[in-house]
A and B are shown apart, each in its own frame.
Chain A
Amino acid sequence: MDYLAQQLINGLTLGSIYGLIAIGYTMVYGIIGMINFAHGDVFMVGSFVSLICILLFGITGSTDIVIGIGILMIVAVIAMAISGVYGWTIERLAYRPLRGSFRLAPLITAIGVSIFLQNFVQETQGARVKPLQALFAGGFTLHEGTEFTVRITYMQILIVLLTIALMAGFSLLISRTSLGRAQRACEQDLKMTQLLGIDVDRTISMTFVIGAMLAAVAGLMYLLYYGVIDFFIGFSAGVKAFTAAVLGGIGSLPGAMIGGVLIGLIEVLFAAYFSSEYKDVAAFSMLIIVLIFMPQGLLGRPEIEKV
């Protein structure tokens, strides 16, 4: 029981990270109907930017926790800004010129961008994994069991709280601002929105930027949680986050978050009770199973094919 509780805590933390990435997939898919394969790699870039900033600011395990968290917030903002520029550039250079081209075209450029980003970071930052010593190592002991102690670390609390805060801010942005209205309008009918005088190109650009920003925070969290990153983390995290988006119902924002948490739980529980070597297989199989049996996901609308 204690073991299960601990796994649930870990799964929730991991799921928050996947959920934040999944939002980027689901928003882009909702508006322009393409899978942004490069999104996982934007997450990876965000993670590298965070690591660089942490080193530049000189936070170590011995930094006072309040100051440390304050600086981490600044790191998050910088990572968001830089990743946002990445997201904007990718959309501008690789996707926008292909709007209206045949359907496989943007998908192929997305794969091209993904391969390019991975290898660009590999060439410039080296292929070795980058370790970061643990920051704020402490935590609370929730329950002292006979065999197993349930603990929640400060880092896990930080990750979950930050995710909740970001989600709240993001929901406000979608529901209250003019940008959010434009995005929802674009999701419903791109052409009609354009006819009504909304700058669709700008809205799509901003969608990519926001998605990239959330992915950057996820990158920071991944770095803090695992303590090692390399140029390849975007691949499997990207596929899992996409699975989360599909599971939650692609196009649905709360769905992405729920899907993220579910995928995080599935991965952690599978690793805990069956086999940690096959945990990626569990997540990937989940994708296939969901697509076969409920392609519209938990909260999604069934897709109607129009001619």
Chain B
Amino acid sequence: MAQPQNNHAQNLGQALPSMIKRSLIVLAIASIIFAPTLLLRLQVSKIENTLFIQYRWVFFAIGCALILVWRLIYEFRAWQRANVPLKASSRPQSQESRFAPYVGPVLLIAAILLPFMPFTDRYILDISILIVTYVMLGWGLQIVVGLAGLLDLGYVAFYAVGAYSYALLAEHFGFGFWICLPLAGVFAATWGVILGFPVLRLRGDYLAIVTLAFGEIIRVVLLNWRDFTGGSNGLSNIPRPSFFGIPFSQGPDGFAATFGLEYSSLQRMGFLYFLILALALLTFYISSRLRKLPMGRAWEALREDEIACRSLGLNTINTKLSAFAIGAMFGGFAGSFFAAKQAFISPESFNFMESATILAIVVLGGMSSQIGVVFSSIAMVGGIEALRQLQFLKAIFGPDFDPSSLRLLFFGLAMVIVMLWRPRGFVSSRVPTVFFREKKSVGSSMISQGRG
């Protein structure tokens, strides 16, 4: 935008007063925003349960100073851009890295080898299971959001349907995990259709808020239908999955004894890890095949322009419903795995923040990039763990401070920044799935989308 022109070029001394003026305005706005949050803290006194106000000038000053510094840097760089001649197109719009084709296989091999590594302990396995679960959920949601362009804010409802259907089927009918897994998928997909059907005619943003409302309805029902779902106490003693009928127990017919191994509780963890890895890979395989089928093409076309789709005779109802159902089905699979792994579920695991987390993974991974979901899941779960390590912050913020609770703060911020900076996410540059003669990738910054 800012072309270097001589009459606009100013030396720094001339530009400085207006730069400082603008920075001070920003500082004033920041101080208004920080006044009721950083500066004035409402404290509940423990004795009388009344409120009093605590002044925190240090936090306030730090917050304002950070904003001021950021703005000054921003002003300086804007001045630089306007005055220093631009290098001709410094960076190509997108480049396929030479290593790009190897990233997926390397990650897969690393994922398969992980449980056999000498440094792998219970903690690492636990984290890895969590990461892979999020990867799977991310891939599932990606079908709905990234491919079909339907913003689903209630994805966790299908996760909940899967989890509760396994838990309830196991409790009432004594079904095993391997029977319940497909059933959970079917139930979740059915719910996907039930939800999808009435909202088909709605535009994208209405759809978002309806799915949000639907997710909340499911959660509230789970919370209050105590006879059936156990209410806020949740369901416990959910049977754990067995290795094709062989339980992971210490007894003579257990997994370890059958295969002549020494018993270790890590075997169950390892099995769970491979189970979710297999489920995730199944999701990956199916969704990447679907992309190349007419159905997947129709999803992408629908995302780009719904009116054009209808004009060309696509059945938008079936297209949307199939996206909803298939996305929901993978959510259901993941949910039933979650129930089996935790052996305990309660409605609190399925709140809106969980939906937002999964959505954030898809968004940060670049909406339609499958490998991006893997990276953003690793970054997110890893980020939470890293935050948990920051115990020294307790010394600054007081003993009540839990660093890991900052994660959602960073999520929100990251979602905004990614959308502003790279609307297609960090990893992705969109590659057209249909191409003529030669595959060309289109840089993310060049894409603007039609109405979806």
Contacts and interface: CB of A to CB of B under 8 A. Distances in A.
A108 B415 contact: yes
A115 B356 contact: yes
A160 interface: no
In the A-B complex, the 5 residue pairs with the closest CB atoms: A116-B412, A102-B449, A112-B415, A115-B412, A284-B213
A235 B352 contact: yes
B292 interface: no
Interface in A238-277: 239, 242-243, 246, 275, 277
Contact of A112 (B59, B206, B413, B452): B413
Interface in A8-41: 33-35
A89 to B, nearest CB: 6
A291 B210 contact: yes
Given A112-B415, A305-B307, A124 B41 contact: yes
B213 A288 contact: yes
B42 A35 contact: no
A97 B420 contact: yes
A123 B409 contact: yes
Interface stretch (A130-138, A162-170, A184-192): A130-138
B282 interface: no
Interface stretch (B13-21, B78-86, B180-188, B214-222): B214-222
A239 B224 contact: no
Given A111-B359, A292-B199, A281 B217 contact: yes
Contacts of A200: none
A104 B51 contact: no
A103 B420 CA distance: 13
A113 interface: yes
Nearest to B30: A89
Interface of A: 33-35, 45, 48-49, 51-52, 55-56, 81-82, 85-86, 88-89, 93-94, 97-98, 100-109, 111-128, 130-133, 235-236, 239, 242-243, 246, 275, 277-278, 280-281, 284-285, 287-288, 291-292, 295, 303, 305, 307
Q: Which of A35, A98, A105, A275 has the most CB of B within 10 A?
A: A105
B153 interface: yes
21 contacts: A45-B36, A97-B420, A101-B448, A103-B205, A105-B419, A109-B419, A112-B415, A120-B37, A122-B405, A130-B44, A131-B50, A235-B352, A236-B216, A246-B206, A284-B216, A287-B213, A288-B213, A288-B214, A291-B202, A305-B307, A305-B451
A118 B32 CA distance: 17
Contacts of B216: 236, 239, 280-281, 284
**Interface of A, helix, strand, loop or mixed by DSSP:** helix
Given A101-B448, A102-B449, A235-B352, A119 B42 contact: no
Contact of A102 (B51, B420, B423): B423
Nearest to A81: B32
Given A55-B42, A102-B452, A295-B201, 20 more contacts: A35-B208, A45-B36, A85-B32, A104-B149, A106-B419, A107-B204, A109-B416, A114-B412, A120-B409, A123-B405, A124-B38, A126-B44, A131-B51, A235-B352, A239-B213, A243-B213, A281-B217, A285-B213, A288-B214, A291-B198
